[in-house]
């Protein structure tokens, strides 16, 4: 399904839905499984109630890898596919949208703006929907922190996180993503999530190290509008059941 500019957009749709309940997004890294398996996972996450599939990672080697993964996902699910690219080379015309995200605490301007300049025309010509997003990485940051050459936000530096979030909103970003890094042993703290949530009015996405229903509920209660899980999808044998638990727990964030 492709949303038509000027009518409903994926960004508007997500924003609207997130005002009613905390959403769950599934992150699939094309480098972590074959396209066929990505398709099977996509089907399971849709059945479990996830709202979108993000496709991206820090170690992807080719656009072909992204294209094949996105195509396999689209064959097996009707969820919107949103690219989560680490660079302009990893865009795919087969996706519905792209997080046009600036890695604001990177020391390398490539991740802040230069890759965006390289990829902008592709986005326009392919018709995928760009979704402006401020993206910051908090300790420990994991591979994304290293590859992205990031000045990590210290775990307890709430004020700095709030500054980045407000700056994102003032720059006109539609979303703000607080990331601890895929596979992180510790997610972003509840205190940081609440402080950021209370200072902005764009939707707050939180990811990195969220693997079980209790943690997901805590993050939703703290103020996450969208909870992202990635590693869990690769590890879990009984994926659908595990995700149903997570998605139920964030919907009932007030319990
Ligand atoms: C990565 O935050 C996401 O951008 C997902 O993290 O793999 O730890 O779930 P996990």
Q: Which residues, including other chains, have CB under 8 Å from residue 34's CB and lie 6 or more apart?
A: none
CA angle at 25 for the pair 168 and 48, rounded to the nearest 5°? 160
> Looking at the domain assignment, is residue 4 inside a domain?
no
**In CATH, what number is assigned to the domain containing residue 57?**
3.20.20.390
Segments of the chain with pLDDT less than 70 = 1-7, 252-255
Q: Give the pLDDT confidence score for residue 4 in this predicted structure.
A: 47
Ligand 1 centroid distance, CA of 161 (Å): 18
User: Which range marks the domain in which residue 193 is found?
Assistant: 10-249
3-state secondary structure labels for all residues of 78-144: CCCEEECCCCHHHCCCCCCEEEEEEECCECCHHHHHHHHHHHHHHHHHHCCEEEEEEEEEECCCHHH
The pTM is what? 0.96
Ligand 1 centroid distance, CA of 129 (Å): 22
Q: Give the pLDDT confidence score for residue 1 in this predicted structure.
A: 43
E strands present in 140-209? 175-179, 204-207
> Looking at the domain assignment, is residue 70 inside a domain?
yes
> Looking at the domain assignment, is residue 5 inside a domain?
no
Pocket of ligand 1 from Cβ distances under 6 Å: 27, 179, 182-184, 207-210, 228-232
With CA atoms as reference, report the closest residue to 24 among 1, 39, 45, 2: 45
Q: Which residues, including other chains, have CB under 8 Å from residue 103's CB and lie 6 or more apart?
A: 111, 112, 135, 136, 137, 148, 150
Domain count, the chain: 1
């Amino acid at each position: 399904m492709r949303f038509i500019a000027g009518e409903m957009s994926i960004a508007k749709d997500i924003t609207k839905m997130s005002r009613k309940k905390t959403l769950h997004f599934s992150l699939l890294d094309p480098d972590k499984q074959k396209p066929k398996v990505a398709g099977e996972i996509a089907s399971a996450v849709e059945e479990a109630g996830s709202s979108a599939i993000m496709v991206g990672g820090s170690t992807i080697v080719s656009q072909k890898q992204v294209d094949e993964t996105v195509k396999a996902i689209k064959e097996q699910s009707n969820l919107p596919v949103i690219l989560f690219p680490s660079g302009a080379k990893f865009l795919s015309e087969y996706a519905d949208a792209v997080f046009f995200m600036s890695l604001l605490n990177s020391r390398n301007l490539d991740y802040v703006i230069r890759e965006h300049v390289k990829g902008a025309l592709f986005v326009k010509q392919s018709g995928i929907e760009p979704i402006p997003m401020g993206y910051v990485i908090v300790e420990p940051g994991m591979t994304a922190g290293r590859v992205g050459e990031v000045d990590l936000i210290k775990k307890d530096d709430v004020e700095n996180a709030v500054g980045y979030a407000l700056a994102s909103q003032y720059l006109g970003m539609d979303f703000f993503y607080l990331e601890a890094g895929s596979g992180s042993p510790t997610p972003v703290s509840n205190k940081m999530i609440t402080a950021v949530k209370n200072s902005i009015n764009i939707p707050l996405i939180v990811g990195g190290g969220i693997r079980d229903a209790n943690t997901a509920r805590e993050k939703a209660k703290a103020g996450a509008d969208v909870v992202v899980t990635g590693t869990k999808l690769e590890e879990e044998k009984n994926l659908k059941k595990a995700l149903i638990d997570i998605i139920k727990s964030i919907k009932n964030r007030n319990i």
